[in-house]
Amino acid sequence: MACFFRKRIATKLGEALQQSEDAFIQALTAIPPSKKQQTADFKLPVSTLRMNGILPSSGDIQLQAEHLAAQLKQDNVVEQISADRGAINFKINRRLLVQKLLEPFGKGEDEKFGLSSELFHTLKRGTTVVEYSSPNIAKKFHAGHLRSTIIGNFIANLKQSLGNNVIRMNYLGDWGMQFGLLGAGFGQFGCQEKLKKNPLQHLFEVYVQVNKEAEHNEVMKEAARDFFRQLEQHESQALSLWQQFREITVKEYQHVYKRLGVHFDIYSGESFHQNQAQEVVQQLQRGGLLKKSEKGTGVVDLSPDGDMSSVCTVLRSDCTTLYITRDIAAAIDRKEKYQFDEMIYVTDKSQSNHFQQLFQVLMAMGHSWADRCRHVPFGLVQGMKTRTGEVVFLEDVLDEARARMLHNMGQSKTTKEMENPEDTAETVGISALIVQDFKGPLQSDYKFDWDRILQAQGDTGVFLQYTHARLSSLLQRNEGLEAATFDPSVLLEQTSITILQHLLRYDEMLYQSAQDLQPKHLVNFLLKLCHLVASAHRELPVKGSPQHVAQARFRLFSAACSVLASGMRILGITPVDKM
Ligand code: ARG
């Protein structure tokens, strides 16, 4: 296993420098494979040891590296130790590298690969609330909601695979003036039948119509205000219509999320916290934190000097609460209910300020756990359109991805053999969306382009799926070669060593992902793996090779397939076996 070597080297360092080996586990990094023959597998930059106070921070760094390298003894596992440009390099015995790395894949321990690494022993595990998707009822489901959905799902998957108890939460925009309008306009523009048949679409239509009407019709405006007042006062008729809208919407969303491979443990929403929001205001008042602004609104002063140069508005002048007030209430409520150790919010970056204020107000109220709340912001997507125009519903995007992919799969032989080419097209189309979205830093904006994301070659989700399908079919055709043992000495050529050196980095890459919650590390890791596998397909044929060679290569390919599949699942992609 990857961590076997890491630990071995760390122990060596610990003994030589009389430190606990833990100090070195994280400082060691696996060296990315390169085209030319690699002379080492792990490296340790002396600068890290200086920074951690393990080595004195003065003197020549290369000399320090040489001195330390000379102190460390080589053995039958760590074959070579050398100093190079201020770092110490470690080369693992080649046979052992092959043996240990591929061992777990014959024992049905595939799923744990990389995750049981020593690297994760210092990570605190606990309950993580991940809040994502969070669309607004009757309004558009825009590209930002799609991003939130897939990014949040990735974060939840990652946290879960690292052993956390994850609560997946959808916080619906299910309260506010839009329901006044909807309630008031439904009688005029709505239709129960249409609502049942196509709820999201119908609610949206009604909403658009009422809005138009209310622009010039004072009676409609008043009716909307009146309906919302009734809702706030919990009048049963108004409430039951609202409830119907909400229930029907959730049911419909559940269905679409399922197509995306996403689910939620809890559908919460702004409506849940309207009463608590008023309590929050009272608490702020009692704590002396609520100030009155010149405009008559209720604010919390967040300025460092207490001069109201930066405030968070929590109460309108008519004493109704706001989006942020409900968020404060919601956070406190979640803490009480779930006792979370950390909470992660996923929205576009335009809400960064909102979340900074939210955490600051919580802190000011004495909720020190607010420093374990985190906002993961992402950039905007431009130009996500379907053939019929602008994207309004999530379903449109999924339909479009499926249709286009189906078209690309065309009349190929494998497509014809498929029981359900539509399903495959959908799964692969969704992978394309996800990979495109996850390739760069989340904060960046990007331009959406269907043709580019659906390419079978190049760094796309289609390429990941294609590689997985090819590996699966190779493994299936050669099932007979699966064996409990294999001969590592036939996997010493550069092509296979390169794959193994790449796999050696899996734990590290996941560790970094868990720190910064960016999916790009994993996406790029898997894409690279697929490129390496493509070379291996050419250079390491299974068919026609002597039995023991074929068996060993089979093991190598099954390791690659397994890591690829589990990585894809963390990204939120369902690997296909055929395409
Ligand atoms: N419904 C909001 C929107 O569409 C996103 C909610 C984000 N979560 C939160 N706790 N405020 O913009």
User: Closest residue (by CA) to atom 5 of ligand 1?
Assistant: 134
The band of 417, judged by pLDDT with boundaries at 50, 70 and 90, is confident
Q: Which atom of ligand 1 is nearest to the CA of 327?
A: 10
Question: What was the ipTM of the complex prediction?
Answer: 0.99
Average pLDDT of the residues in 128-133: 98
Q: Give, in order, the Cα–Cα distances in Å from 144 to each of 271, 383, 436, 488, 530.
A: 22, 12, 14, 48, 29
The alpha carbon of 173 and the centre of ligand 1 are apart by a number of angstroms equal to 7
Percent of the chain with pLDDT strictly greater than 90: 84
Residues 439-462 pLDDT 10s: 999 999 999 999 999 998 889 999
* Domains along the sequence of the chain with CATH: 2-92 (3.30.1360.70), 175-263 (no CATH), 414-571 (1.10.730.10)
The alpha carbon of 171 and the centre of ligand 1 are apart by a number of angstroms equal to 7
What is residue 477's predicted lDDT score, i.e. its pLDDT? 96
Q: Is 345 in the pocket of ligand 1 (CB under 6 A)?
A: yes
Q: Which of 129, 130, 134 to mutate to test the pocket of ligand 1 (most atoms within 8 A of CB)?
A: 134
260, pLDDT greater than 80: yes
Q: Of 393, 333, 435, 343, whose CA–CA distance to 132 is shortest? A: 343
User: Closest residue (by CA) to atom 10 of ligand 1?
Assistant: 327
495, pLDDT greater than 90: yes
Instruction: Read off the pTM.
Output: 0.96
427, pLDDT greater than 60: yes
Q: Is 149 in the pocket of ligand 1 (CB under 6 A)?
A: no
Q: Give, in order, the Cα–Cα distances in Å from 34 to each of 84, 377, 561.
A: 17, 33, 21
Average pLDDT of the residues in 83-109: 92
Q: Is 252 in the pocket of ligand 1 (CB under 6 A)?
A: no
Q: Which of 347, 374, 394 to mutate to test the pocket of ligand 1 (most atoms within 8 A of CB)?
A: 347
377, pLDDT greater than 70: yes
Q: Is 268 in the pocket of ligand 1 (CB under 6 A)?
A: no
The CA distance from 269 to 219, in Å, is 29
Q: Is 327 in the pocket of ligand 1 (CB under 6 A)?
A: yes
Q: Is 171 in the pocket of ligand 1 (CB under 6 A)?
A: yes
Catalytic residue set: 139, 142, 145
554, pLDDT greater than 70: yes
22-31 contact pairs (CB < 8 A, 24+): 22/122, 23/52, 23/54, 25/118, 25/119, 25/121, 25/122, 26/119, 26/122, 26/511, 27/52, 28/90, 29/505, 29/508, 30/2, 30/501, 30/504, 30/505, 30/508, 31/89, 31/501
Residues 327-375 pLDDT 10s: 999 999 999 999 999 999 999 999 999 999 999 999 999 999 999 999 9
Q: Of 474, 475, 447, 450, whose CA–CA distance to 462 is shortest? A: 450
